[in-house]
Amino acid sequence: MKVFVPEEIGFCFGVRRALQLVEDELRKGGRIYSLGDLIHNPQVVEELRRKGIKTVGELSQIREGTVIIRSHGVNPSLIEEARERGLKVVDTTCPYVLKAQRTANLLVQNSYAVVVVGLREHPEVQGIIGNAQSGKIYVIKNSQEVEKLPFMKKVGVVVQTTETLDNFEDIVKNLIKKTEECRVFNTICKVIMRRRALVRELARKVEAMVVVGGRNSANTRQLVEMCRSIGVDTYFIERKEDLKLKELKGIERIGIIGGTSTPEQTIKEIRDELLSLDQSHNSFKINIHHS
């Protein structure tokens, strides 16, 4: 069996940064709370819990100590409220998410209606909306939904960082006829764009793909969908233990990839597990360059 693992796997810099900030805080001691799961990976969240980070759903559950704002960002009013209540705030909002938030805010300040492309219920979209509260804001997830929008003289568009370029492009294409001025900000995460291009290329070279990551991770789920749409056998797992080794026997060429909140270590464990399947094992690092 030949196992292909891209050079660039594991956490994106936004997730690495968030975890680093949390580790720094852990060293300082005190009670530390995460407002929602820090990242969309149950195993990492469980490890943080063991280290003393407690996940809470509401700010009201925290009486004292430090509150971690996760990389997806939040409504800025929440940060204000936490500070007013005397809590220490460690804000790990991803710089790409922050840019989408600030752009939405700037658009509202300049009298643009704002269209957010993404899923209304996703915490990142909720944070973007929170940053543009005083304006007209529409969240849409596909180009069919554009039809429901009114005519807007000036509209600005931002996009959830994990959105696919294809869907974003289709939405903008359909939005143009509904506006005089349409100001489009491509806030899709560059790391995710690159990883998708890499996975697209890898999936075409192999018989099967193992995609590793949290079931609740938007960007991991999209990698799974992409692989399946290419037509390659695709296994979506969270941990090494989820591997169905029997099903994989006899496969000659297999690829492994993770989402941006999947630890590199998990990928490597899975690679080793696959390599243990037969004696003529081989692992290849592949590096695919994309702009």
Q: Which amino acids are annotated catalytic? A: 124
The string of DSSP letters for 86-135 reads T-EEEE---HHHHHHHHHHHHHHHTT-EEEEES-TTSHHHHHHHHTTTTS
Please check if 40 is assigned to a binding site.
Answer: yes
Minimal distance, residue 219 CB to a second copy, in Å: 18
Please check if 276 is assigned to a binding site.
Answer: no
Q: Which residues bind a second copy (CB under 8 A)?
A: 151, 165, 168-170, 172-174, 176-177, 179-186, 291
Tokens of 45: 């969240």
Q: Which residues 6+ apart lie within 8 Å of 72 measured at CB?
A: 36, 93, 94, 97, 122, 123, 124, 127
Please check if 290 is assigned to a binding site.
Answer: no
Rounded distance, CA 289 to CA 291, Å? 7
Please check if 161 is assigned to a binding site.
Answer: yes
Fill in the amino acid letter for 198.
L
Please check if 122 is assigned to a binding site.
Answer: yes
Nearer to a second copy by Cβ, of 60 and 291: the residue is 291
Minimal distance, residue 141 CB to a second copy, in Å: 17
Residue environment code for 188-204, b if the CB has 16+ CB neighbours within 10 A, otherwise e: bbebbbbbbebbbebbe
Minimal distance, residue 174 CB to a second copy, in Å: 8
Rounded to 5 degrees, φ, ψ at 62 are -105, 125
Minimal distance, residue 127 CB to a second copy, in Å: 20
Nearer to a second copy by Cβ, of 184 and 232: the residue is 184
Minimal distance, residue 179 CB to a second copy, in Å: 7
Nearer to a second copy by Cβ, of 169 and 272: the residue is 169
Sheet strands side by side (includes 113-117) = 137-140, 113-117, 152-159
Q: Kindly list the distances between the CA atom of residue 286 and the CA atoms of 23, 31, 199, 201, 260, in Å, as whole numbers in the listed order.
A: 31, 43, 11, 10, 18
Nearer to a second copy by Cβ, of 154 and 268: the residue is 154
With beta carbons less than 8 A apart as the criterion, state whether 243 and 1 touch: no
Find the length of the chain. Answer: 291
Please check if 182 is assigned to a binding site.
Answer: no
Nearer to a second copy by Cβ, of 117 and 210: the residue is 117
Q: Which residues are known binding-site members?
A: 12, 40, 72, 94, 122, 161, 189, 217, 219, 261
Q: Which residues are known binding-site members for isopentenyl diphosphate?
A: 40, 72, 122, 217, 219, 261
